[in-house]
Structure 1
Amino acid sequence: MLLTNITTIKDFFIVGFPGLLPEYYGPVSALLFLLFLAIAVGNVFILVIVKYEKSLQKPTYLIFCHLALTDLMFGTVTLPRVISKYWSDNSIISFYACFTQMFFVHYLASTHSFILMVMALDRFIAICVPLRYTSLFTNTTVNGLCGISWIMPISWMVTLVVDAMKLPFCNSNIIVQCYCDHNSIISLGCENVRFSAILALGFAMFCLLVPLAFIILSYIFIIVVVLQRSSSTGRIKTLSTCTPQLIITGLYYFPRCFVYLANFVGFTFNVSLHIFIVMLYSHIPAAVNPLIYCFKTQDIKEILKIKWSKVKIHLTTKTF
């Protein structure tokens, strides 16, 4: 509990999807639970298969593991609370639990963005300087770069949370969102929140635009190098190795950039639609990414085929 010069806030009330009728609470909670289950099962599967398959313990797949871990943690931090709201009508979240959730929401999103930058670097080195790839981009290098991606945003997010906690709050403790995020919390502040908003925007733009600029430049260089190759078959084959990374990157950045640009040009969504869009681009990629890892990467696809063949042989043998 934090004492401000206005009032004492002990708990916050999570609205979820505004205007949702009670008769839809059950179906919505079931859909959110299935989404959480897909995120948990898919990303745990990626972590396990890379852990136990020695042939997959390469830089590219280690990056996939780091991305899977951020997706798994983000779903675990955000979805159980909103599922509980619609499943058991539990809309209350404590003051400190709300700010803890806010920290992890923005921290994990920032970490994910920087790991995508590492993934782009992986493709850049593999295609532009392939002969030096194994010496430049080792497992140790990948874990070091991803480790920096995990550590770097911590101090920024702590600053963001501490600044928001210092705000004097009015009597309203209603958060119009499915989870605690910075914008929803500072909108409850009684004094001028301009500094808090600018601070958050600065961190958000840095964590979003710096990795995105690096990713765009990397793929421009990749395309230039690929186009210089004489064989059209070789070009297609080389670009196909980038397909999983491009899809994953697009799923993360395009919706966010669309929302930011829409707000910048003055186009505003109604509250319900905005919350729905945020939930979609925050969670659907986390559920879809494991499928992309499995069906768009040759090594994992081959391992799954081999294991499925063994299962079919075992079942056939058992039948006879």
Structure 2
Amino acid sequence: ISNITRIHNFFILGFPGLSPSYYGPASAVLFLVYLAILVGNSFILAFVIYEKSLQKPMYLVFCHLALTDLSFGTVTLPKIISKYWFGNSIISFYECFTQMFFVHYLGSVMSFLLLVMALDRFIAICAPLRYPVLITNNIIFALCGSAWFLPLPLMLFVIFQALSLPYCQSNIITQCYCDHISITNQACGNDLKIAVIITLCIAMFCLLVPLAFILISYVSVIIVILKMSNSAGRRIRAWSTCTPQLIITCLYYLPRLFVYLANFVGYTFSASVRIVVVMLYSLLPAVVNPLIYCFKTKDIKDSLKMKLFTK
């Protein structure tokens, strides 16, 4: 390829077609979203660490999820806020690849953490007598540590493979942050198709393997709950312990599956709609999850009431 030019910077396009008169409101909304992510998830981390009674396996998983949400918001939002607030659309070549790594790495970590959360609820409902032995704080630390470690070599491979590609298209990123599709759309060469296929296989592994286990575990949990006698509210208590996890899992997977299925059947979104959908399913869970932890989890809710309403 004779006309390859070295790209030193990329330009973050953001929302295509957005009028400059709306840059201020757009930056304000994105800033409020980031503030909600920062405050909500930092509060969950601090509250569980401070409240010794909450240092149980399920709440330790919540802490890892909160840390993932907080990290994802910090990686993606400041740059796009800077674009609309200060007009700074430029991101360096290697900074863009670094952002791409953390975007996909943190998304994969979240998927495996949801698997750990599903395993916790599966054992708690289906084998309650063995739960104190099978699920301890140390075991949860090991499982969550594995969730952080397992995607690391896979995402490093994806990044180095993308770095090895020649780039001969434009340097405009049609997205609010750097991701693999947006960057490799600017690449060329014979290895591009292979890189895209390998990356898709890795993405499907990180998404579908945890999802398969999550579906099997929650179906088993629901069957066990439906078979329970309702004496002393056992069924209600079982449902209440699973509800937060089910909501969190649905917020993460359902929008992604909708987008993938829409692409599979040939339904295409405009660039603006696609970017809005991606931003919603990427950031909405990070905003909503702390509220779910606080208002849908009995122990956290009771601890908050005690702190707020007792002298």
Relative to the length of structure 2, the TM-score reads: 0.97
- 1:72 counterpart (67, 70, 73): 70
The corresponding residue for 2:211 is: 212
Please list the CA deviations of residues 84-137 of structure 1 after superposition, one character each: whole Å capped at 9, or x if unmatched: 000000000001000000000000000000000000000000011101111110
Structure 1 residue 174, shift from structure 2 partner: 0.6
Contact preservation (8 Å) 2:169, 2:187: no
| SS at 2:129 equivalent | helix
Structure 1 residue 234, shift from structure 2 partner: 2.1
What is the alpha-carbon distance in structure 2 between the residues aligned to residue 180 and residue 283 of structure 1? 15
2:165 is the alignment partner of 1:164: no
Contact preservation (8 Å) 1:106, 1:181: yes
| SS at 1:37 equivalent | helix
Structure 1 residue 172, shift from structure 2 partner: 1.1
Relative to the length of structure 1, the TM-score reads: 0.94
Where does structure 1 differ by over 6 angstroms across 4 or more consecutive aligned residues? none
What pairs up with 1:95-174 in 2 under 5 angstroms?
95-174=93-172
Structure 1 residue 5, shift from structure 2 partner: 7.5
What is the alpha-carbon distance in structure 2 between the residues aligned to residue 79 and residue 228 of structure 1? 45
**Percentage of matched positions with identical amino acids:** 65
What is the alpha-carbon distance in structure 2 between the residues aligned to residue 223 and residue 33 of structure 1? 39
| SS at 1:241 equivalent | helix
The corresponding residue for 2:286 is: 286
Please list the CA deviations of residues 220-268 of structure 1 after superposition, one character each: whole Å capped at 9, or x if unmatched: 1112222222227322221121000000000000000000110011111
| SS at 1:20 equivalent | coil
Opposite residue 208 of structure 2, the aligned amino acid is: L
| SS at 1:93 equivalent | strand
Contact preservation (8 Å) 1:5, 1:168: no
What is the alpha-carbon distance in structure 1 between the residues aligned to residue 48 and residue 26 of structure 2? 33
The corresponding residue for 1:14 is: 12
What is the alpha-carbon distance in structure 1 between the residues aligned to residue 57 and residue 139 of structure 2? 8
Contact preservation (8 Å) 2:41, 2:70: yes
2:189 is the alignment partner of 1:191: yes
Contact preservation (8 Å) 1:11, 1:93: yes
Opposite residue 125 of structure 1, the aligned amino acid is: I
The corresponding residue for 1:50 is: 48
| SS at 2:14 equivalent | coil
| SS at 2:10 equivalent | strand
In structure 2, do the counterparts of structure 1 residues 104 and 5 end up closer, same or farther at CA, with 3 Å as the change threshold? farther
Please list the CA deviations of residues 54-81 of structure 1 after superposition, one character each: whole Å capped at 9, or x if unmatched: 0000000000000000000000000000
| SS at 2:228 equivalent | coil
The corresponding residue for 1:297 is: 297
The corresponding residue for 1:251 is: 251
What is the alpha-carbon distance in structure 2 between the residues aligned to residue 231 and residue 171 of structure 1? 63
What is the alpha-carbon distance in structure 2 between the residues aligned to residue 171 and residue 203 of structure 1? 25
What is the alpha-carbon distance in structure 2 between the residues aligned to residue 197 and residue 29 of structure 1? 32
Please list the CA deviations of residues 120-167 of structure 1 after superposition, one character each: whole Å capped at 9, or x if unmatched: 000000011101111110000001000000001011101111111111
Opposite residue 174 of structure 1, the aligned amino acid is: I
Opposite residue 29 of structure 2, the aligned amino acid is: L
What is the alpha-carbon distance in structure 2 between the residues aligned to residue 76 and residue 174 of structure 1? 22
Opposite residue 154 of structure 1, the aligned amino acid is: L
The corresponding residue for 1:90 is: 88
The corresponding residue for 1:235 is: 235
Opposite residue 266 of structure 1, the aligned amino acid is: G
What is the alpha-carbon distance in structure 1 between the residues aligned to residue 9 and residue 57 of structure 2? 44
Structure 1 residue 170, shift from structure 2 partner: 1.1
- 1:81 counterpart (79, 82, 85): 79
Matched residues, number: 308
